[in-house]
Amino acid sequence: MPNFYYPFVMDNTAKITIGEKTYDLNIIQGTEAELALDISSLRRQSKFITFDDGYGNTGSCESSVTFIDGDKGILRYRGYDIANLAENSNFLETSYLVMYGELPNSAELENFSDRVSNYSKLPIEVTQAIKALPLSTHPMGVLASGLQALGGAYPQFCTNNRGHDLESFDEAAALIISTVPTIASTRYRNSLSENMPSPSPSNTYCENFLSMMFGNEDGSGEIPKSVSNALDLIFLLHADHEQNCSTSTCRMIASGGANPFASVAGAVSALWGPLHGGANMAVIKMLNDIHDSGDDGSRFIESAKQGKTRLMGFGHRVYRNYDPRAKILKSACDEALEALGVSSPILSIARRLEEEALKDDYFVERKLYPNVDFYSGIILQALGFPTDMFTVLFAIGRAPGWLAHWKEIAENGKKIHRPRQIYQGSQLRSFIPILDR
């Protein structure tokens, strides 16, 4: 069996012994004291590879975008704590930070906001492509298809220099961030056979989105500031989350030289999976089912402890503490509902579930704390978004993170990503003619 030996991290090396042979491995230390064994030379030296089902213990890259400490409940974009950003920043400013590494000054933010605003109207070909899709197409399928069509409408941002045309990144990034809400709104209004008002340069990013989704066809009507602020906060909190399924997919695609539109479209498809981006939809279904059964949450809690039901919106693969985004959304939920002047019958159930779970030894011992999906679904439902669009909202918020990781690959990527496998299939067999089978 392999033996690891690293008494002094300062040596920057570790030793792995397999049988009678010992191999030296480099130790990589991150800026937050994370330690990793660099096994990139192990196969060449020993013919061994490592096995890590689901990549849960594998560092696939070095990145400077986001830091997470799941045990302490820490989330930082480019070194800035998520609570600090949520209190003082907004989605577009945070998007700039995530993609470019620093908070913008006034001129930089104005220039970036103008670029985003200028691209908010879709080319007619992209609108036609969206409307040509079957009405039964899921909104996430429409978003992925719309992004591919968008790349086709702007071929100047899709050059063949391994796809990594950094000179076009500023425009491509602004275009994608600007138009993902327009693609989503176009699909929604088309499903209702309604015309969509054109985006207005005088509106904020979220005001435009809410107007395109729910506003009058002539563009009249005012979006309450508190409502657009609630949506802006949700986008900000989802802007990036390290190497999750969709982000890793984006980086994988980008490593092959794909352009930002193809890479982000692939990330959208990865996010579509219910185990990744569909959790807030599951929370709403759970809360509605509890409410319809006449339960205040007490019976459901006991059922979850017996393994008969699953408490959705609690626990996280990374966080072993309270998800810092959930703390922020918990207070924002009250403010949003008050601003909308609506009451949510499932909110009191959600609060009771949280209160009971946080003091019940069964959930505490298992570190099942509320995650970001627990309250975001309630806010999105109160804002009027249909449940099948919840994951689209997630994707809109995550777009700057995906673009930031595409940019890292473009700047630093040295080779295409190509994981290994442990083959467990049949050994060499002879072909059997069909009459003899």
Q: 106-157, pLDDT tens digit by residue?
A: 999 999 999 999 999 999 999 999 999 999 999 999 999 999 999 999 998 8
Calculate mean pLDDT across residues 340-357.
Answer: 81
Q: Residues spanned by CATH 2.20.28 within the chain?
A: 3-69
Q: Please list the alpha-helical segments (H only) found in 28-138.
A: 42-46, 82-88, 91-100, 106-118, 124-132
User: Which residue did the predictor score with more confidence, 34 or 149?
Assistant: 149
Distance CA 174, CA 158 (A): 14
CA-based end-to-end distance of the chain? 43
What distance in Å separates the CA atoms of residue 68 and residue 71, rounded to the nearest whole number?
9
pLDDT band for position 258 (50/70/90)? very high
Measure the CA dihedral 404/372/105/63, to 10°: -30
CATH architecture of 279-383: Orthogonal Bundle (1.10)
Report whether CATH 3.60.90 matches the domain 3-69.
Answer: no
Domain with CATH 1.10.230.10 in the chain: 279-383
Q: Which helix (H) or strand (E) holds 26?
A: strand 21-29
Q: What is the pTM of this model?
A: 0.91
| Alpha-carbon distances of 275 from 5, 257, 317, rounded to whole Å | 37, 28, 11
Give the C-alpha separation, 134 to 128, whole Å.
12
* Residue 138 falls in the annotated catalytic set: no
CB 380 within 8 A of CB 388: no
Q: Which of 164, 241, 316, 405 is catalytic?
A: 316
User: For residue 248, which amino acid is it?
Assistant: S
389: its two tokens? 């669009």
373 is catalytic: yes
Average pLDDT, the chain: 89
What is 289-341 written as a DSSP string?
HHHHTT--SHHHHHHHHTTSS--TTB--SS-SS--HHHHHHHHHHHHHHHHHT
Q: Please tell me the CATH code under which domain 80-268+405-411 is placed.
A: 1.10.580.10
Q: Which one from 373, 405, 417, 436 is the annotated catalytic residue? A: 373
